[in-house]
Structure 1
Amino acid sequence: MSNPASFRDQSNWADGFYELAIEVGSTDDARIQEVLGAVWSAAGVQGCFAFRDREPEEQEPVSCSAASLAEYGHLRGQVRLPTGRPAVCGCVAIRGGDESSDWLDFYVPVGALSKAGIAYWDGGSFFRSAVMDDWLAAVGARAFRRTPFSLAVIGFEVSGCTDAATLAGRLPESRGIGYLLPLDGVLHYGAAND
């Protein structure tokens, strides 16, 4: 049986990312650092590594930091999925520059999710899993308690699909993805419903 937690098995990293994409609300490295630490802890990620072509025991860990994200592009680890199976996971920062805020994307690749037996709905063009949505929403809520953020969206490659300014404090009624939207300091979860 294939192992969804194996770094060396490149099929684990295939088919795109199922994400908790967080709009940090700033372009400050310190904010990326705070949110990264909160998410890594909230998800219970084991390890922090730069390379996906060698197993964790075959490489030195790197710091779970904005500096490491800048140097390596992605940080990788292993996480226990809601089914109890371990799987590879990662994180990437999408820097907005002067015009927009930064995003931090925590992800589990679809290849690993498939091998871990996560049931999903394929609407013809994307992966969607209510189990993963709820788990990622719980990770986001725990991270928010440690360090608030502007918005988080949950789903298949969802980073930047909207932003807090566009939503203007209102969850969409029809949602193809999940939303974590803070209102007056309280985080509200709008699950995907269409």
Structure 2
Amino acid sequence: MLSFIGLGLYDERSITLRGRDALGSADAAFAEWYTSRLSGTNIERLEALHGIEIEVRDRAGVEQYPGSIFDAAADGHAAFLAAGDTMISTTHVDLRLRAHDRGIDTRVIHGTTAQTAASSLTGLQNYRFGKATTLPFPETHGGVPGSVIETIESNRESDLHTLVYLDIDGENERFLTGDRAADLLGDPLGDPLGVVVAQAG
């Protein structure tokens, strides 16, 4: 069995009760910190609260070389952990499909996401959000990708809000900040109104 468990948004206590129970019953636990981070905790505190050792995997260890995750799930109950919800704004659905191809049962235990927090913290109606996009570090793409601007402009034409996720570099502890994002997007978009939600949860 492979359980995909969302950890919520902030610290080791943001997990749901169902997620805590599933993690507590796991024989092995794996986590990734490259799509998002719990800013109020670290792996050691997660391990201490939940009583299990957690192996942190980099992107290659999840997407290209997940063999040890599948082995643990085939032999017992493995938990795969990610901040937020494991199936939102990630590629982890591929990991789930690959587990199914190997005959491994899976389940998803959802967590609170940045998308729901952004709507509730800003008071903006979730029905008024269009397609979301991610703003990467400009040095990795030679500036702001055209797809980011196109997504925002398309939503604006439909009178919809845009949730812009800001890139992180988990291996180097780098986070694209709201003020830098505003500088990057201000010129191409003509200084639109923006609201930053940071460290929700």
Q: TM-score, normalised by structure 1?
A: 0.26
> Larger Cα Rg: Structure 1 or Structure 2?
2
Structure with the largest fraction of helix: 2
Q: TM-score, normalised by structure 2?
A: 0.26
Structure with the largest fraction of strand: 1
